[in-house]
Amino acid sequence: MILAFAQLSNMVKLSIIIPTYNISSYIVECLSSVVPQLTDECELTIVDDCSTDDTVATIKKYLGKRKHTLIVNSKNSGVSHSRNVGMIKSTGKYLAFIDGDDRVTPIYISTILEALKLERDYYEMSWRSFGTENKTWIAGHLKKSNTSVWCRVFKRNIILYLFDENRSTGEDTKFLRENINVDLTKGLISDIMYEYRRGRPGSLITTYREKG
């Protein structure tokens, strides 16, 4: 699907998009790692895909009167749709994605904002896994690049195509293939920025894929 962003007059520097679905037991841990870091230069957009548990109520309780965006999809449509809605509704010059059952490190936002001063088209970030597997991946030191969007930050104006909502697997890979090319400038962030949860039954990715 080709993307046509509206011209935005009041853009923040960074939009962080979090898709959620039936993760009431994990979403507070995720938000607690992100929300305290927010500054006037960034915004948080949460898109819930019609969770059937207490995810939405948990998010609302945690956020309270904070000025963040919570969007509940009108019907269960999958993680790609939620990410697309988040991109379209957000206003940031740069876009970052966090899965709602993962978390970020305490330097996530400050390090990204500092890196954005270089005005690269996109950035790759270092990350580590936790849970049933504990490994570390350093950006720029991998023989095979990770194809997930959550370890990258994208300049809004390089994104020409939305996530494919008809795919149940490989949606991140296709998104990167359609939007990233050799002519774009890339920045590398060597600090550990993202923490990816391994081994949770019914994880966000697994759950979305099972729904097809």
DSSP-assigned states of every residue in 3-55: --PPPPSS--SEEEEEEESS-TTTHHHHHHHHGGG--TTEEEEEEE---SSSH
Q: What pLDDT sits at residue 180?
A: 95
Distance separating alpha carbons of residues 22 and 101, to the nearest angstrom: 10
72: tokens are 């509940």
SS3 content of the chain, % helix, strand, coil (to 5): 30, 25, 45
Mean pLDDT confidence for 68-82: 94
What lies within 8 Å, CB to CB, of 210 at 6+ separation is: none
Determine the straight-line distance between the first and last CA of the chain, rounded to whole angstroms: 18
Distance separating alpha carbons of residues 124 and 127, to the nearest angstrom: 10
Give me the sign of the Cα torsion angle 76, 67, 10, 100: negative
Share of the chain above pLDDT 90, in %: 78
Please check whether residue 13 is in contact with residue 20, taking contact to mean a CB–CB distance below 8 angstroms: no
DSSP-assigned states of every residue in 157-171: GG--B---TT-SS-H
Question: Would you say residue 212 has pLDDT above 70?
Answer: no
Please check whether residue 140 is in contact with residue 190, taking contact to mean a CB–CB distance below 8 angstroms: yes
Mean pLDDT confidence for 139-147: 75
Q: What pLDDT sits at residue 204?
A: 46
Q: What pLDDT sits at residue 205?
A: 46
Distance separating alpha carbons of residues 139 and 123, to the nearest angstrom: 9
